[in-house]
Amino acid sequence: MFDQLSSLPPDPILGLMAAYRADSNPNKIDLGVGVYKDETGTTPVMKAVKAAESRLLSTQNSKAYVGPVGLDTFNDSVAELVFGKELTRKLGARRVTFQTPGGCGGLRLAAEFIQRIKPGSRILVSDPTWANHVPLLGDAGLEIETYPYYDRGCHSIRFDEMMAVLANAGPNDLVLLHGCCHNPCGADLTTEQWQAVATLADKNGFIPFIDLAYHGLGDGLDEDAYGLRLLAETVPEMIVVNSCSKNFGLYRERTGGLSIITTSEQSSRAAASQVAAIARGIYSMPPDHGASVVAEILQDDTLRQQWDNELREVRQRINALRSQLVTALKARQVAEDFSFIEREKGMFSFLGLSVAQVQTLVTDYSVYLVDSSRINVAGINNSNIDYLADAIANVVASPSA
């Protein structure tokens, strides 16, 4: 059986990781891997997480299964974090939330749920979008189409073109929207644009499907949730997937949530039974540790405040790095205007470089990024920003790159 197998090409990000590790250049910079890094280049464990883990270690008295739906205290706490206290109360039993194995698990669980109730449903995703959206959603059987989103030349959102395409989406369609900190471009909808999307969704009846992977890394927890909360108040049905990998730093714990909003309590109960059955058939029970940590933090005022402060520091550092990179490139009198980087949000932005220029950065300067020129801003720090700015300036100025 296995003799018939052929090897698949390596994932571009995983290939970059391997090349970076093998590179002996002391000035090498990793801007490819999409995890947060602090000033020392490490992905730290938050102090609030450490404190919560310490409590769990001393008080947890069982490792029994939590069930396909997951930890109730996690589900309730995360729903309130995502939707806010007042909206969570207003949604009531129309909203149901499930613990999932990371945001990826939530996306796939949602896709399997949609495929079960309406096979081959069409879901429109932004162009560009996170590369893993396509296999996570498409491999479940959904029909994937794209809508215009980012103009790489102008470094701005193609909003009029986006709305023109979404105007043709109807009740049997879903539209995937990045809740904040768009991956890979970092360009987010304005409040006015979110309002226009909500009006169109309500008018046409398409179902918003929100991927909230970077909640709190843009402008703030409430600010980053503006669009999804507006939609939840406007439309009768909606799907939201959130991740705790970035805002809690729980990458390896695979902790996320799936929330479904329906038209009635009866529909919500039916949806819950279907999702639980699907989860049971895929992974049976979600892992508990990360969810217990999140619940412990969100249900304790002291830990919640500590976590909020740490998240604010992460957010402020990323936004400061954006400004510092733009300033450093201006100081080198680079012909291209990189000021758009400062206006974008979250960990990612496109540099707007060609594939050849990206390859020059990798081979000549050991600056590692994917061919699309997407960078992880959090990979920059005070010790490498000047080297990075010099490398970009040299590549942009070189006629052969």
Phi and psi of 189, rounded to 5°? -65, 145
- pLDDT tens for 205-225 read 999 999 999 999 999 999 999
Q: Are 187 and 344 in contact (CB under 8 A)?
A: yes
Q: Write out pLDDT tens, residues 357-367.
A: 999 999 999 99
Query: Average per-residue pLDDT in the chain?
Result: 96
User: Can you give the pLDDT at residue 54?
Assistant: 98
Distance between CA atoms of residues 17 and 369, nearest Å: 10
Report the 10 Å Cβ neighbour count for 306: 18
pLDDT, position 98: 98
Could you tell me which of 382, 304, 318 has the C-alpha nearest to residue 47?
304
Q: Report the alpha-carbon distance of residue 392 to residue 180 in Å, rounded.
A: 27
Contacts 24+ apart (CB under 8 A), 307-314: 307/46, 307/48, 307/49, 307/248, 308/221, 310/46, 310/47, 310/48, 311/216, 311/217, 311/221, 311/247, 312/220, 314/36, 314/217
Q: What is the DSSP string of 201-255?
A: HHHH-PEEEEEESSTTSSS-HHHHTHHHHHHHHH-S-EEEEEESTTTS--GGG-E
Q: Give per-residue pLDDT as tens, 147-166.
A: 999 999 999 999 999 999 99
Length of the chain: 401
- pLDDT confidence bin for 107, thresholds 50/70/90: very high
The residues near 315 (Cβ < 8 Å, ≥ 6 apart) are 216, 217, 218, 219, 220
Q: Are 207 and 175 in contact (CB under 8 A)?
A: yes
Is residue 347 within 8 A of residue 37, CB to CB? The reply is: no
Q: Which residues are catalytic?
A: 130, 211, 246
| 8 A C-beta contact, residue 185 and residue 344 | yes
Q: Which domains does the chain have, with CATH numbers?
A: 7-45+312-397 (3.90.1150.10), 67-299 (3.40.640.10)
pLDDT(75) > 90: yes
CA distances from 318 to 66, 249, 367, 368 (A): 36, 15, 19, 19
pTM for the structure as a whole: 0.96
Specify the amino acid at residue 22. A
What is the C-alpha to C-alpha distance for residues 101 and 108, in angstroms, rounded to an integer? Answer: 10
**Residues whose CB falls within 8 Å of the CB of residue 105, separated by 6 or more in sequence, listed in order:** 254, 256, 283, 286
pLDDT of residue 400: 62
Distance, in Å, from the CA atom of 260 to the CA atom of 205, rounded to the nearest integer, reads: 16
Confidence of residue 177 (pLDDT cuts 50, 70, 90): very high
- Which tokens hold the place of 142? 């959904």
- Separation of alpha carbons 211 and 100, rounded Å: 13
Strand pairing of 173-178 and 156-157?
A: unpaired
- DSSP bridge partners of 147: 126
- Give the model confidence (pLDDT) of 309-319 as tens digits: 999 999 999 99
What residues does 157 pair with on adjacent strands?
Answer: 150
Q: Give residue 8's pLDDT.
A: 86
The Cα angle at residue 259 between residues 257 and 264, in degrees rounded to 5:
160
Taking residues 54-60, report their average pLDDT: 96
Confidence of residue 401 (pLDDT cuts 50, 70, 90): low
Average pLDDT estimate for 251-275: 98
